[in-house]
Amino acid sequence: MQPIVNANGAAIPALGFGTFRMPGPDVLRIVPEALKIGFRHVDTAQIYGNEAEVGTAIQQSGVPRADIFLTTKVWVDNYRQGAFSASVDESLQKLKTDYVDLLLLHWPGSPVPLAEQIERLNAVQQTGKVRHIGVSNFNTRQMDEAARLSAAPLVTNQVEYHPYLDQLKVLEDADRLGMSITAYYAMADGRVPRDPVLNDIGSHHGKTAAQVVLRWLIQQHGVVALTKTATQSRLAENFGIFDFVLSTDEMKAIHLLAKPDGRIVNPQGLAPVWDEAA
């Protein structure tokens, strides 16, 4: 059994299957296989353009909807009044379900005031269409403000997190707020598999560098990791991280790989002013 991250009332499977930049046909082919292997957490977003295929894949997987933790995200263009709720209804229709387990604000970059965004997020949660709510790509100031404004507790901040990016400040803030961090871009755009330190650690456990990083993420308190692959043979590798433990020294060695310029995802107009590394 994979570990569960408990955050403000949400029980989130520690390893999620992400579908960013995954075309529909790949989703239809690989998501049912991921669920067959044991994944129980699937992550998508309105802007990914694949919610309909994710919904179909879940339906065709044979795994009951109730057993799957399903996340989607509202795109910034839909934050405005009148669009928010309608966009969630459209997402549910595409996902072929009457609720999602987690709904996130995708990026902070929007002219719509945060108070209004949070108000609309709470309103859809109160309808029962959304079990839990959270944010994505928020800095600590925005996390604090969002948590203060929200009537319902926020359960996660989904952010870029891998060995080359120090996210200690965000982790500490999330912990203080009772939130989890959901890590995306764990493979750092292909850098992880080539890293000598990570490969060396992996060799001691009979694991790959990719498995080492996923393990490093979920071994941290309150961290959920997203993994993604369109290759069926990789699914078992990505899921095979629950049968070994990294030592304190190994965890530390991986944290030491962080660089001041480690951030990869930083879209202008969407991204906030990020926290400086601790």
Binding-site sequence positions for substrate: 106
Please give the span between the terminal C-alpha atoms of the chain, in angstroms, as a whole number. Answer: 34
**263-266 long-range Cβ contacts below 8 angstroms, 24+ apart:** 263/160, 263/165, 264/160, 264/165, 264/185, 264/188, 264/189, 265/137, 265/160, 265/185
Q: What are phi and psi of 25, to 5 degrees?
A: -60, -35
Known binding-site positions: 106
Both tokens assigned to 130: 């959304």
Q: Which of 161, 143, 141 is nearest to 153 (CA)?
A: 143
Q: Which of 48, 79, 184, 185 is catalytic?
A: 48
Rounded Cα distance, 231 and 164, in Å = 25
Rounded Cα distance, 87 and 201, in Å = 45
How many other C-beta atoms lie within 10 A of the C-beta of residue 112?
Answer: 17
CA atoms within 13 A on the CB side of 264: 16
Q: Looking at residue 191, what DSSP letter applies?
A: T
Helices (H) and strands (E) in the chain, counts: 10, 10
Q: Is 48 a catalytic residue?
A: yes
Q: What are phi and psi of 77, to 5 degrees?
A: -65, -15
Amino acid code (one letter) for 102: L
Q: Which residues are catalytic?
A: 48
